[in-house]
């Protein structure tokens, strides 16, 4: 990954750390991006990925974003990996933390494929 691409990755992670997940998808996903949750079937398309994120928020009843902490980041070729912990406040008053590892494939400063591994 070039220096410019690494800088793009850091910019994207900065947006995510602020809880602006939808904005990150809108900015960095190509229109025909392929995203996949673990072993679930992949979803094709930026809009479909944004809709999945919105359904997730509604399903678990998100009231507020607390934090998105990025751990280790690794880059090889046009692929980046990072681990993260997303903490959210739910409408029922509960606070949850979700851990995941994200594998991202880049082309020309945009995300063409992303897969999320979590428990």
pLDDT for res 7: 84
Specify the pLDDT at position 70: 97
User: What CATH fold (topology level) applies to the domain 3-118?
Assistant: Nuclear Transport Factor 2; Chain: A, (3.10.450)
pLDDT in tens, 3-42: 666 788 999 999 999 999 999 999 999 999 999 999 999 9
How do residues 55-110 score in pLDDT, each as one tens digit?
Answer: 999 999 999 999 999 999 999 989 999 999 999 999 999 999 999 999 999 999 99
What is the residue whose two structure tokens read 């979700």?
98
The whole-angstrom separation of Cα 18 and Cα 30 is 21
Give the domain ranges of the chain.
3-118
Please give the pLDDT value at position 4.
Answer: 63
Determine the pLDDT at residue 119: 75
Q: Is residue 93 packed enough to be buried (19+ CB in 10 Å), middle (13-18) or exposed (0-12)?
A: exposed
């Amino acid at each position: 990954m070039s220096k410019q691409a690494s800088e793009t990755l850091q910019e994207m992670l900065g947006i995510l750390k602020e809880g602006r997940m939808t904005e990150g998808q809108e900015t960095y996903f190509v229109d025909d991006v392929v995203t996949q949750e673990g072993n679930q079937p992949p979803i094709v398309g930026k809009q479909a990925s944004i809709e999945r994120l919105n359904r997730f928020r509604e399903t678990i009843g998100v009231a507020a974003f607390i934090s998105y902490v990025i751990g280790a980041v690794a880059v090889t070729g046009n692929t980046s990996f990072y681990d993260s912990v997303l903490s959210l406040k739910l409408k029922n008053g509960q606070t949850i933390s979700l851990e995941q590892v994200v594998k991202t494939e880049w082309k020309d400063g945009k995300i063409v494929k992303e897969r999320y591994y979590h428990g």
